[in-house]
Amino acid sequence: MYVGAHSMMFSPAFSEEDLDLLGKVDDMGFDAIEIQLNKPSKLPADLLRDKVEEVGLRPIFGVTLTEEQDLLSPDEDVRREGVRFLKDMTDVVAKCGGSVLGGVNYAAWGKFTGKMRTEEEWERSRKSLKEVARYAQNNDVNIALEPINRFETYFLNTAEDAIKLVEDIGEPNVGIHLDTFHMNIEEKDFYDPIIDVGDKLYHFHICENDRGVPGTGHVDWEGTFAALNKIGYDETVVVESFVPEIEEVATQTAIWREIAPSADAILEGALDVFNKYA
C-alpha cells in the first residue's frame, strides 16, 4: 500500500509552476501525488511525466464533471461532451505515466434536480461510462467511480450504489474510489463497505470527518486499514483535504473556517495515521 498527497491542498489548478511540489511531497515521505484534471490546458504533461520519474512518485489523477459535461443529461450533446472530456483525460493520464482516473466522473458535481435519481439517468451514465472505459483500455487506464455525500450529488452516495453501477457497466477497468470523508456521512461504518467493494477498489482517499488533521476526529482508522489489509489493497491511499489559503478550492468545498493549522499539518497527521495502521 502506498500513501499520497493531493495537489489541491496547495494549488487550485496544477501547472508548470507547481512542479516543485513533487519534491516537497517526496521529502515529506509520500509515495504518490494526486492531481486534479479539471484544467488540463495548464497541465505540463511531458514535464510532469519527467518529474514524477525523476522524483519517484506514483501519479494519480482525478476529475469532476461540470453541468456542460453531465453524463445524466437528457441532452445527447451534453453527454457527448462529457464522454469526449473523459476520453481526453484518459489520454492525459497515460501521457503522464498514470493508470487511475478517479473522482466524480459519472455525473455533474454539485448538480441537483430536487428528485431521486431515475432509471433513465442511470442508463445514460452507464452507457457513457462503458464507452469511456473501452476507450481507456487502449491506454491501460482504470476508471474509479467515487460515491460522494448527498450534499454534493444525488446520484451515487454509497459503496453499494457504486458496486451496482460498476457491475452494470461490466468493463474490467472500471472500479471504485472510496473516501472516508463521504463514507463518514453515508455509510454505517468504514469496515464493511471496503470489504464489500473488495478487489474493485481502485483508489482510496483518507480524510478526517471534518477534513482536518487525520487522527484528530472520529474516523475509525483502525477499522478502515484493517479492511484495506483484509482485501489485500495494494494501491494508493491519498490524503485529500482543503485549506482556506487556497481560496478557489476552499469556496468550492465549503471550507469556511480554519480546520487545521496548515496543509502540512494535515499531511503530517495523515502520515502518522498511515504509519500506525497500514
- Residues designated catalytic: 146, 240
- CA–CA separation, 261 and 147 (whole Å): 28
* 259 touches 207 (CB < 8 A): no
What would the DSSP string read from start to end of the chain?
-EEEEEGGGT-SS--GGGTHHHHHHHHHT-SEEEEE-S-GGG--HHHHHHHHHHHTPEEEEEEEE-GGG-TT-S-HHHHHHHHHHHHHHHHHHHHTT--EEEEEEEEETT---SS---HHHHHHHHHHHHHHHHHHGGGT-EEEE----TTT-SS--SHHHHHHHHHHH--TTEEEEEEHHHHHHH-S-SHHHHHHHGGGEEEEEE--TTSSSTTSSS--HHHHHHHHHHTT--SEEEE----TTSHHHHHHTT--S--SS-HHHHHHHHHHHHHHH-
Amino acid in position 222:
E
- CA–CA separation, 92 and 90 (whole Å): 5
- Give me 256's grid cell: 469556511
